[in-house]
Amino acid sequence: MAALKTLQQLARQHGTPLFVVDHDVLRRNYATFRKYLPRVQAYYAVKANPDAAIVKTLYDAGASFDVASMPEFMIVHDCIKNLPIKQRQDWIWDKIIYANPIKANETLQELDPYKALVTYDNSEEIRKIRKYAPHSGLVLRLKVANTGAMVELSSKFGAASGEAVDLILEADKAGLVVEGLSFHVGSQTTNFENFVQAINLAADVYKEANDRGYTKMNLLDIGGGFPAPYDATVKPFRELARKINAELDRLFPKNIQILAEPGRFMVATAGTAVSKIIGKAVRDGKLCYYVDDGVYHTFSGIVFDHCHYHMNAFKKGPAQICTVFGPTCDALDVISMAEELPSDLERGDLLYSVNIGAYSVASSTPFNGFPPARVVHINR
């Protein structure tokens, strides 16, 4: 994150609430991912933070992209819009996966000219793709264990392993090409065995498909879920990478292309929120601070991402357990009921929250008329 002095200077310059993105951290996170998973191409999950400047920095670093809507697709497309059409189509085929298994007919029609990779997990989606995007390459998403993930996804997406090869053969019969398999172990997965089990399941499906005569698959997408280091309980990324590398090397030959969809891992530690205390009260004997950011804005991850963000004061002093409220009139707008902060903070003093780059400003709203935080980018 940016130095505390820099954060204070930016708050004075731009006002609050403020969301600061450090692009050096983005580049460092991408380099770390590539260092420890050298066989895996990183497809940044744009939904984690779709800011165009973040996408551009990762594009320049060599990233590929996981998109889940046409607006996300077009954010990435803007990075390559000056390339010749043929070169642009080749880049999209190799560097973008549309990883939302359920797509509207209109979306498929828009995607078809790009011949993009798309995921699916059911027969109805096969019929839709055949009709509206027949030039797409298909990737079958498998249902895998999400045990220990902060946000589980397996209840909404994924084909059961017992029906997987039938869905591959059904797509093949429809004249479509299934390029490979994908899975997602759940967001912020600290249970590393989820990855081990999922890779083994995918290897079993690969083998069954080969045994039943389908030999066209050449990729595996191991999804997202790579945990951000929110606290000391999250084991180092290199430990997870060691497990993943061992299973990939054991089960998948070198000619199989390996993809992943890191979102949170790339951007969480690159974002810092700065807010200002706008009110102070004692309620039922407890000190309460009110700030100009909240769960409808940068701290939306508290509601939508099951995440807890700690508030920190720039000033030092005797601390006590406080409640921190956001600025809206909704009682849901609570950042924390138990935050340890100095007891002598005043209106106008600043607070900051680190590691808030993922699933935060991405879901901000103008609820109650309060605007989302101003976004400021640091490129050192």
Please identify every residue annotated as catalytic.
Answer: 329
Say how far apart CA 231 and CA 209 lie, in whole Å.
Answer: 41
Look at the block and give the residue holding tokens 């009709």: 131
Q: Considering only CA atoms, give the Rg of the chain.
A: 22
Is residue 232 classed exposed, middle or buried when 0-12, 13-18 and 19+ CB atoms within 10 A define those classes? exposed
Pair type for strands 350-353 and 271-283: antiparallel
Say how far apart CA 156 and CA 139 lie, in whole Å.
Answer: 17
Chain mean position to CA 35: 20
Question: What are the phi and psi torsion angles at 214 (to 5°)?
Answer: -100, 115
Question: What are the phi and psi torsion angles at 99 (to 5°)?
Answer: -100, 25
Residues β-bridged to residue 339: 322
Amino acid making up residue 322: C
Nearest to 119 by CA among 189, 56, 182, 42: 182
Cβ atoms of 34 and 216 closer than 8 Å: no
Extended beta strands in the chain, E state: 18-22, 40-45, 64-67, 96-98, 117-120, 137-141, 149-151, 177-182, 187-189, 219-221, 257-260, 271-283, 286-291, 312-313, 319-325, 334-342, 350-353, 374-378
Is residue 91 classed exposed, middle or buried when 0-12, 13-18 and 19+ CB atoms within 10 A define those classes? middle
3-class DSSP state of 135: coil
Look at the block and give the residue holding tokens 């009682």: 331
**Which ranges constitute the DSSP H helices of 212-327?**
237-251, 264-267, 301-304
Question: What are the phi and psi torsion angles at 149 (to 5°)?
Answer: -80, 145
